[in-house]
Structure 1
Amino acid sequence: MAFQEMGKAFVGFYYPAFAEDRAKLADVYTDQSCMTFEGAQFQGKQPIVDKLTSLPFKKVNHQITTVDSQPIIGVDDNQACCVMVTGQLKTDDDPPHSFHQTFVLRPANGSFVVANDIFRLALHN
């Protein structure tokens, strides 16, 4: 699978799962995974899932604008992939906010896991 297709396929799974039941995302993280969410850092499957499931909103909708992917040369026989996502996020009755999210995907058991995940709302003070 080409890296751009891989990124789009991952995004096509991740954000609907995030909206439906964030606990289902546990399978894409490992005990070595790292996530930075709005500057707060978490490591390991359980701390990451705990953070995601503790987010206070009930409804969430991601409108994806761009998905850019590229191989990470020299990692996992060049099978690891960096995926950068931009879009808008709407939660409950709040107005939409732009966001950026970057994933590092690594091959595992015929699929991929998230090694790194960085999320940030694009808010300007």
Structure 2
Amino acid sequence: MAGADAIVQKIMALPFQKVQHQIVKCDCQPSVNDGIVIFITGNLLVDDNANPLKFAQVFQLVKGPTGNYYCHNDMFRLNIG
């Protein structure tokens, strides 16, 4: 299975009860054709674990033909080590 349905099924099957995002830093800059590139760093708190997981995420919002923005690219990384 591929596509959005497979992603939803995978997320629903994860063993977590609660995931909380703590944004530490958010940097934005304009991109081509009125797009926006966004870089976020932060912490993920999973269930009642007191040790947060560090993460970084970069995504690009692009203006569609109707003028609405959509996520064109998205990169997410857990910084474990």
TM-score by length of 1: 0.53
**4+ runs deviating over 2 angstroms:** 43-56, 108-111
Q: 1:93 aligns with which of 48, 52, 77?
A: 48
What RMSD in Å do the two structures reach over aligned CA positions? 2.1
1:49-71 per-position Cα deviation (integer Å, ceiling 9, x unaligned): 44444433121111101111112
Larger relative helix fraction:
1
Q: 1:58 aligns with which of 9, 13, 17?
A: 17
Larger relative strand fraction:
2
Distance 1:114 1:54 in 2: 24
TM-score by length of 2: 0.77
> In structure 2, do the counterparts of structure 1 residues 89 and 54 end up closer, same or farther at CA, with 3 Å as the change threshold?
same
Aligned residue pair count: 78
1:1-125 residue pairs with structure 2 within 5 A? 44-72=3-31, 75=32, 77=33, 79-94=34-49, 95-108=51-64, 109-124=66-81
- Percent of paired sites with the same residue: 41
Report the CA distance between 1:47 and its aligned residue: 4.0
Structure 1 residue ranges without an equivalent (≥5): 1-42
